Every structure is written in C-alpha cells, then in structure tokens.
Structure 1
Amino acid sequence: MERGGMMGILSNKITKQDLKPGDHIYSWRRAYIYAHHGIYIGDGKVIHFTRGAGQEIGTGTFLDSIFSSSSPDSSDTPCPICGNQGSANGVISSCIDCFLSGGELHVFLYNVSPLIFLAQARGGTCTLAKSDPSEDVLYRAKYLLENGFGFYNLFKNNCEDFAIYCKTGLLLFTSVNVGRGGQTASFLAATTAVASSPLRFLTTSFGGLTAVGLGSYCVSRLVSDIGVRRDVIKIPVERLLSRSITDEAEGTTLAAMPN
C-alpha cells in the first residue's frame, strides 16, 4: 500500500520503526537547502546515489561549497557498520544513521492527489506517479548497487532521480532533460515563475506579481512531475546502462559504463 493521505499534508516525517523495505526516504541537508534521497532495503540499510565531498556540482566555484556532500559525513571515528564513506561515489549502501547524517527521517510519497502535491510547496517530497511493488523496487536498487547508475549530475541525474527510478522504472526520453526529481523542477519553476509568464504584463503591483509568480510556480511544478509527463518510458533495470538506451531515452545522462 502506498503512503499518502493526511500524512502528505501535515508532514512526511516517519520513525525508523515505521519504515518498510522499498520505502523512498530522504533527509534535508544544509538548513533545508536540499534533501538527500535513498531506498530503504530493510535491516537498517539504505541504498543511495551520491558523489564525494564537495563534488555535487563540480564547478570549482563557491556553489560546490553550498551543496555539501550528500555522502555520509567523514569522521575521525568511522561508523562501525559502514566505515568512513565521506568520499564515496556512485551507488552505495549505508546504515540509516550514516544516510541521515544527523538529519530527520522523511518518506517520499507516491500516487498523491494534485491537491496534496500542490499543498507541499517544496519539491522533492512527493509525486503523482505510482510506485511499483516493493519487490521490484528492491530488485532495481540492489541491481544498481552492483552495476551503478551512470554519472552523478546535480541537475540531471542525482539521488532523487535514482530513488524515483527505483520506485517507478521511469526515464525521460525527451532531448530536454533536467532530471526526474521534484527538487530540480522546483528550482527551475522558482527561477522562471514570473519572468516567463505572460500574465506578468497584466499587473504591476507587488501583490499581483506575487500571485502571478505563485501560480506559475505551482503550474510549472505540476506539469513537470513525472507522474503526469508524457515524455517518459519504462526501462527494465537490466537494460539501463546499455548503449541502446540512448536511442530510446535520448537526453538522459545515464552512461553506458558503471560509476
């Protein structure tokens, strides 16, 4: 049964005791600037997609320091379960405490209604798409742990994209690819909310522009959600890294080689 209902309006927080294998979970980082996502596989373990410390963008600019590592934190006292994964790259397995890195545990919701989707103004928390059965989710996550998920890219192929693929098996096949995740969609929607809307010419007041911006933001988030987009295709995980996928899903950043 997919999680949803009032949970999606009030809070997505969940306790460790309530976790189920196949859950898509996340934890906010850097004072809620962004969230790190993964798939809970049971026995206190999480499979997630990451890039080493300070390399999420790889621009060599101050932006690299803003988006601190999504890998578990380095420490003078390595985790007795995971060791020191601070410089880890690619698809890795961590204990839940290392995955959270001191943050709170949240569960990503699937098959939510448009009302609940829009009620959660922050992207990267839910989707209208339906989740596949947990056995399929776990199979994809474990397969990718062994074979990789291509090259990490903050805007096109990140941890949320990995978790969403594990849950749904869906990839974009459009040549304009900005990832499948809600965080990326929200960022783009926020940066273009007013500037790209023709309705901005109908008002000059601050309140009017704010209303136009909010409306454009909500519409942009909704139409870019993978649950309503038509430019998606379901790809078996065994074929995910084959070169033939570039013909069927042009524009994706998944490489034909492992991490």
Structure 2
Amino acid sequence: MGVLSNWIDRGDLKHGDHIYSWRKGYIYAHHGIYMGDETVIHFTRGGEEIGTGTILDQFISSSVPPRSDTPCQKCGDQSTLNGVLSSCLDCFLSGGELYLFHYSVSPAFFIAKVRGGTCTLAASDSADDVLHRAKYLLQNGFGTYNVFKNNCEDFAIYCKTGLLVVTSYSVGRSGQLGTIMAAASAIVSSPLRFLTSSVGGLTVITSGMYCLNRVVSDVGIRRDVIKIPVENLVARATEDDGPAAATQLVDEH
C-alpha cells in the first residue's frame, strides 16, 4: 500500500476488493466490487457517471472514453443500462488502469492521500459480507443514481462496510465529492484566513482546513452514519429516494 499510488496488478486482486479506475483526465474515478473470475459489480447510470441533472452531466460524460462499436462478447452492450451491473473487468476499466481502494488507513495516511476517493478510515467487513451485499443489490437495486448523494463510490463503500449516511442534508459517503466539499469549505468559510495576509500563511491555514474537513467528512469518523443490513435497506428503499430511505431506520438502531 503506497502513498503515491493505489495501483494493483490483476493477479493480486481478491474477492470482495473495492477497486476503481480513473477516467479520462483523472477528473473522476469509477468504483466497483471485484467478485472474482474477472467480474465486477458496480453502480452506474446509462453506463456512465452522470445523473446530476445539471450542465455538469455534459462535462462529465465528455470525459468518458469512447465506447467500442463492437459489444463485449462477455457483457454485451451495457452502454445504456442503469443501476447495479455485473461487468467483466475490461468493461469496468474501460481502458483505464486498475486501483485498489484501501480501508482502515491511519489518519496520517488518509491526509497524505491528498485526493479523496482512494481510501477511508472505516474498516471493511469480511469478504463474505461484501460479496453478499453486492450480489443482493445486483438483484434488487441501489435506488436512483445521483452523483451527489448516491454514486458508484457510495455503492462500493456500502458493500464494504454496510454504512449509510442517515441525514437528508448530508452528502453521501463519496470521498471524491468530500474532497470537493472540503476544498470549497477551506477556501470560503474558514475564519482563520483573516489571521494572516501572507501567501505562505494563507496556504498553510487553507491546507490545514482542507485536511481537517476531509477527515471529519470521512465515513469512518462522521456521526451521521449507521450500519444497515442490506435486506433492510432494500425493503425500505424506493425508486425515488433509494438508500435515503435509510433515515427511517435511525429510531430502530
């Protein structure tokens, strides 16, 4: 496990691994759960990482590598499918490199990974639990894709941990989105930025606030998450609110 890269060789993959691949320009990463036998279960919308309902959709979809005119012999044409899919590893990677998402990392390691969406302080459950959740959600769905609250990274983290955010005003568990929110918060809302006028001092303060905001937004430390059995999640979810329906389970835990 290196600080500079989470790259992993295919031969080193294990059942239940949370893997990801950066898309064109390293704008975002697509996440999934490795099931073994070169198969990945992942969550998507229309075969791409879109679904904000804003102009951001056009920007993100433009970063997706062009798809082959010849459908995969194993998966067929999945380019227009929505929801939880099972794909071969090649289709999941879509021409990108393979990386392993790390769990139970130390705070120092977490901060050293400047860009989010690569690791978490949270602990992973057993491989059997991870595979069970992924298979169950493949059959029953994970609600409606939403880049802000219910995206591919949220799906993979739930499969690995069983943890869901239960406050309706919070973003999901996505480290990628957490990075953006942390950066915005550090620049805009930090009252400490007024304590210095030097470029160096401002950089130190902003960097410190950025790191702090990233840590407190991680699923392994935030308080607005609970562990929910996948059967309960699916039973309560609807096509419109998906895992957001988990907020109804707070009183039961």
Q: Scaled by the length of structure 2, what TM-score is found?
A: 0.91
1:80 corresponding residue in structure 2:
73
- Give the CA deviation at 1:57: 3.1
- Give the CA deviation at 1:175: 3.1
Q: Which whole-Å deviations, capped at 9, do the CAs of 1:116-137 have from their partners, x for residues lacking one?
A: 1011000000001000000000
Q: Which whole-Å deviations, capped at 9, do the CAs of 1:48-69 have from their partners, x for residues lacking one?
A: 00011567134352x2122128
Do residues 100 (structure 1) and 101 (structure 2) align? no
Contact kept, 8 Å, 2:45 with 2:51, in 1: the verdict is no
Do residues 34 (structure 1) and 35 (structure 2) align? no
Would you tell me which structure has more helix in proportion to its own residues?
Answer: 2
Q: Which whole-Å deviations, capped at 9, do the CAs of 1:192-222 have from their partners, x for residues lacking one?
A: 2121111111012222222221111100000
* 2:134 paired residue among 124, 129, 141: 141
Do residues 10 (structure 1) and 11 (structure 2) align? no
State the AA in 2 paired with 1:21: H
Do residues 195 (structure 1) and 196 (structure 2) align? no
The 5-angstrom pairing of residues 54-93 of structure 1 reads: 56-61=50-55, 63-68=56-61, 74-93=67-86
Contact kept, 8 Å, 2:168 with 2:247, in 1: the verdict is no
Do residues 168 (structure 1) and 169 (structure 2) align? no
Contact kept, 8 Å, 2:24 with 2:64, in 1: the verdict is no
Contact kept, 8 Å, 1:91 with 1:144, in 2: the verdict is yes
Contact kept, 8 Å, 1:161 with 1:179, in 2: the verdict is yes
Q: Which segment drifts farther, 73-82 or 87-96?
A: 73-82
2:114 corresponding residue in structure 1:
121
Q: 1:72 to 1:132 in 2, by over 3 A?
A: farther
Q: Distance in 2 between matches of 1:71 and 1:94?
A: 17
Q: Distance in 1 between matches of 2:84 and 2:189?
A: 36
2:147 corresponding residue in structure 1:
154
State the AA in 2 paired with 1:247: Q
Q: 1:38 to 1:237 in 2, by over 3 A?
A: same
Q: Secondary structure at the match of 1:37?
A: strand
2:242 corresponding residue in structure 1:
none
**Unmatched segments (≥5 aa) in structure 1:** 1-6, 251-259
Q: Secondary structure at the match of 2:21?
A: strand
State the AA in 2 paired with 1:248: L
Q: Distance in 1 between matches of 2:124 and 2:64?
A: 25
1:257 corresponding residue in structure 2:
none
How many correspondences in the alignment?
243
Q: Distance in 2 between matches of 1:89 and 1:116?
A: 35
1:253 corresponding residue in structure 2:
none
Q: 1:55 to 1:102 in 2, by over 3 A?
A: closer
Q: Distance in 2 between matches of 1:227 and 1:12?
A: 19
Same amino acid, percent of matched pairs? 65
Q: Distance in 1 between matches of 2:184 and 2:33?
A: 29
Contact kept, 8 Å, 2:20 with 2:32, in 1: the verdict is yes
- Give the CA deviation at 1:249: 5.1
Q: Scaled by the length of structure 1, what TM-score is found?
A: 0.88
- Give the CA deviation at 1:72: 8.8
Contact kept, 8 Å, 2:85 with 2:138, in 1: the verdict is yes
